[in-house]
Amino acid sequence: MEVQALPKYDLQALADTLAGVFEGSEDWLRIMKLLLEGHPLSPERVASALQISLDDANHLLEGAEFDQAGNVVGLGLSLVPTPHSYQVDGRQFYTWCAGDAITFSIFLKTTAVIESPDPISGEKVRLIVTPEGVQQVEPRTAVVSWVTEMGEMKNVRTWGCNFIQFFTSAETASQYIVQHRGLIVVPVDEIFQMGKLLWEREPFKSVIADL
């Protein structure tokens, strides 16, 4: 199959757009750090940890993933299985999308072992991500689909996460993006660099320093 011409992009512009989506949601980073403990979080626990009212906590948690008891089990980082396996110190987590898997180590300050299937070929993409960068990407040709048309943070899974996937190559990614409007293809390493451009700016930088 002939590979489709891949859309061009500007990494800084992508980071700037994503920063606009995250604006006002800096506390999501604190909640994900709590989820790294490996247990569901009650809204009351979130309110106490963030020193905010329960009403404010419930508002902040719009878009989170809950269990049947009303506890938070996912907010980017998840305790519930997704296609994106995310192991930290031998503990099993998941992420909502490929971009999360690549960039979360920056602010969680952890090393993660990631495995995720190419939705076209079914072949697994495997990599290790540290706070300093991406390592051991298999296959080396792996790329990520990225969303350019962004919506509200509380609906991030609908407009974003569901379409940000790992691919073993630009060939399989090109087959995917022709089926989905508003997507581009970005190398794994550049997704990490975009994460640094995002998380190393204020107000995120100060939040991360306190995590």
pLDDT in tens, 39-95: 999 999 999 999 999 999 999 999 999 999 999 999 999 999 999 999 999 999 999
State pLDDT tens for residues 175-204: 999 898 889 999 999 999 999 999 999 999
Q: What is the pLDDT of residue 1?
A: 39
What are 99-128's pLDDT values in tens digits?
A: 999 999 999 999 999 999 999 999 999 999
Domain limits, the chain: 17-23+74-202
Helix axis angle for 27-35 and 98-108, nearest 10°, is 90
* DSSP labels, the chain: -PPPPPPP--HHHHHHHHHHHHTT-THHHHHHHHHTTSS-B-HHHHHHHHT--HHHHHHHTTT-EE-TTS-EEEESEESS--SEEEEETTEEEEESSHHHHHHHHHHHT--EEEEEE-TTT-PEEEEEEETTEEEEEESTT-EEEEE-S---GGGHHHHTGGG--EESSHHHHHHHHTTSTTEEEEEHHHHHHHHHHHHTSTTHHHHHHT-
Residue with tokens 């379409």: 163
- pLDDT exceeds 80 at position 14: yes
**Measured in whole angstroms, how far is the alpha carbon of residue 174 from the centre of its chain?**
21
- What pLDDT is stored for residue 3 in this prediction? 45
Q: What is the pTM of this model?
A: 0.93
Third-level CATH fold of 17-23+74-202: Beta-Lactamase (3.30.450)
pLDDT of residue 6: 60
